[in-house]
Amino acid sequence: MQYAKLPKTICNEMEKIQRWFLWGDIDHSRKPHPVGWDVCCLPKFDGGLGIKKPHHMNEAFLMKILWNLITNPNDLWCKVLYSKYGRNNDLRVSIKSQPYDSSLWKSLTSIWDQFQQQVVWQLGDGNNINFWLDKWTPSGTSLISITSQSYIDTTLSVRDVVTPSGEWDYNFLSSNLPSTFVF
């Protein structure tokens, strides 16, 4: 569950076992249920029991692996995955799988788009944030989609676009971004 995307049927069966346990159901007799299952799955502060759906937990585990893969690229396990499956690509741009890849890598690629929709970077010192590829702007979009240049350096960090005095390099910004977007 923590390293492979489980099929929907298995997640549904796990959820069925959870329901049976909670309501005391057995195969041949069914007891009345005082509340609906969706209410039981609500967070406690919303009046539910805080029961997690297996499908959501499975995706959360995989997204945590993706997050660690991006934020800790120097960890040994990350280096192994990068060297085996990275195929000389920046994983923040795209992630692809081949039929012969491991089930872990296939699972990570299957939720990549969903993961990308959830990730927004906090700027900090800008050293670890890719200027073009990461979603660090207030709008939550990456700048690569709005650049006015056909060739760009995708290894550029946000810190590289700031002058030594801590101000934005307006010459760089105005020559690479539309005038309506420049800070």
Place of tokens 């890719």: 130
Q: Does 79 have pLDDT greater than 70?
A: yes
Look at residue 51 in the predicted model and tell me its pLDDT.
Answer: 93
Tell me how far apart the 2 most distant CA atoms of the chain are, in Å: 74
Burial (CB count within 10 angstroms: exposed 0-12, middle 13-18, buried 19+), residue 25: middle
Q: Among positive and negative, which fits the CA dihedral 17, 1, 113, 98?
A: negative
Residues 96-126 have pLDDT tens digits of 888 888 889 999 999 988 988 888 777 788 8
Please state the pTM of the whole predicted model. 0.72
Residue 146's pLDDT is what?
82
| CA–CA gap between residue 79 and residue 85 (Å, rounded) | 10
Q: What is the DSSP letter of 41?
A: T
Mean pLDDT across 39-47: 93
Q: How confident is the model at residue 61 (pLDDT cuts 50, 70, 90)?
A: very high
